[in-house]
Amino acid sequence: MRKLQIGVIGPAKGEYPKSKKLGRSISGVAENIGELLSKENVIVITGGGGGVMEAVSRGAKRKNGITVGTPGRNRKSSNKYIDIEILTPIDTGDFLFAGILSSDAIIAIPGGAGTLSEVCLAYRYKKPIIILRGFNKNYDKLINNYLDESKSVLIEGAKTPEEAVRKAIRLAKGK
Give Cβ neighbours of residue 127 (< 8 Å, ≥ 6 apart).
Answer: 7, 100, 103, 104, 105, 106, 153
Return the higher-pLDDT residue of 175 and 150: 150
Cα separation, 140 vs 144, whole angstroms: 9
Confidence tier at 64 by pLDDT (50, 70, 90)? very high
**Please, what are the domains in the chain?**
5-172 (3.40.50.450)
Q: Is the pLDDT of residue 93 over 80?
A: no
**38-47, 93-102, 111-120, 126-135: range with lowest mean pLDDT:** 93-102
For residue 143, CA distances in Å to 62, 157, 172 come to 30, 5, 18
Cα separation, 70 vs 88, whole angstroms: 7
Q: Is the pLDDT of residue 169 over 90?
A: yes
Give Cβ neighbours of residue 120 (< 8 Å, ≥ 6 apart).
Answer: 147
Q: Residue 95: its pLDDT value, please?
A: 77
For residue 103, CA distances in Å to 22, 28, 161 come to 27, 22, 18
E-assigned strand segments in the chain:
5-9, 43-46, 67-72, 84-87, 105-108, 129-132, 156-158
Across the chain, mean pLDDT equals: 93
Q: Residue 157: its pLDDT value, please?
A: 98
Q: Are 10 and 164 in contact (CB under 8 A)?
A: no
Q: Residue 92: its pLDDT value, please?
A: 66
Q: Is the pLDDT of residue 106 over 90?
A: yes
Q: Residue 71: its pLDDT value, please?
A: 87
Cα separation, 115 vs 127, whole angstroms: 15
